[in-house]
Amino acid sequence: MSEFVFSPKPIRIESGDGASLTDESGTEYLDMGASYACTPLGHAHPAVVDALTEQAEQLTYVQGSYPVSVREELYDLLPELAPEPIDHAWLSNSGTEANEAAIKFARHATGRSKILAMTGGFHGRTLGSLAATWKPKYREGFEPVAGGFDFVTFDDETELREAVDEETAAVIVEPIQGEGGINPASDGFLKAAREATEEVGAALIFDEIQTGVGRTGSMWVADQVDVTPDIITTAKGIANGLPLGATLVREWIAEDAGNHGSTFSGGPTVAAAAKATLETVRDEALPNHAGDLGDRFRADLEAAIGDRVKDVRGEGLMIGIQLKRGANRVVRDLAMEHQILALPAGRTVVRFLPPLIIGDAEVDRTVEAVEAVIDST
Ligand SMILES: *Cc1c(COP(=O)(O)O)cnc(C)c1O
Q: What is the pLDDT of residues 158-174, one digit of tens each?
A: 999 999 999 999 999 99
pLDDT tens, 291-302?
Answer: 999 999 999 999
Distance from C-alpha of 77 to C-alpha of 81, rounded to nearest angstrom: 6
Distance from C-alpha of 165 to C-alpha of 171, rounded to nearest angstrom: 11
Task: Confirm if 96 and 131 have CB atoms less than 8 A apart.
Answer: no
pLDDT tens, 275-334?
Answer: 999 999 999 999 999 999 999 999 999 999 999 999 999 999 999 999 999 999 999 999
Whether 199 has a pLDDT exceeding 90, the answer reads: yes
Distance from C-alpha of 211 to C-alpha of 14, rounded to nearest angstrom: 27
Whether 255 has a pLDDT exceeding 60, the answer reads: yes
Task: Confirm if 191 and 226 have CB atoms less than 8 A apart.
Answer: yes
Whether 340 has a pLDDT exceeding 70, the answer reads: yes
Distance from C-alpha of 24 to C-alpha of 62, rounded to nearest angstrom: 36
Of all atoms in ligand 1, which is nearest to the CA of residue 243? 7
Average pLDDT over residues 263-270: 96
Average pLDDT over residues 203-226: 97
Cross-strand bridge partners of residue 89: 248
Share of the chain above pLDDT 90, in %: 97
Task: Confirm if 272 and 54 have CB atoms less than 8 A apart.
Answer: yes
- Helices 360-376, 328-338: axis angle to 10 degrees equals 120
What would you measure as the largest C-alpha separation in the chain, in angstroms?
Answer: 60
Residues with CB under 6 Å of ligand 1 are 94-96, 99, 122-124, 174, 178-179, 207, 209-210, 235-236
Average pLDDT over residues 335-341: 97
pLDDT of residue 150: 98
pLDDT tens, 95-125?
Answer: 999 999 999 999 999 999 999 999 999 999 9
pLDDT confidence of 5, banded at 50, 70, 90? Answer: confident
Of all atoms in ligand 1, which is nearest to the CA of residue 99? 10
Distance from C-alpha of 335 to C-alpha of 356, rounded to nearest angstrom: 20
Average pLDDT, the chain: 97
Q: How far is the CA of 95 from the centre of ligand 1 (A)?
A: 4
Q: How far is the CA of 123 from the centre of ligand 1 (A)?
A: 5
Beta strands 20-23 and 318-322: pairing type? unpaired
Of all atoms in ligand 1, which is nearest to the CA of residue 96? 9
Cis before 355? omega within 30:
no
- In testing the pocket of ligand 1, which one of 118, 210, 215 has its CB within 8 Å of the most ligand atoms? 210
Distance from C-alpha of 355 to C-alpha of 286, rounded to nearest angstrom: 10
pLDDT of residue 16: 98
pTM of structure: 0.98
Q: How far is the CA of 243 from the centre of ligand 1 (A)?
A: 12
Beta strands 340-341 and 343-344: pairing type? unpaired
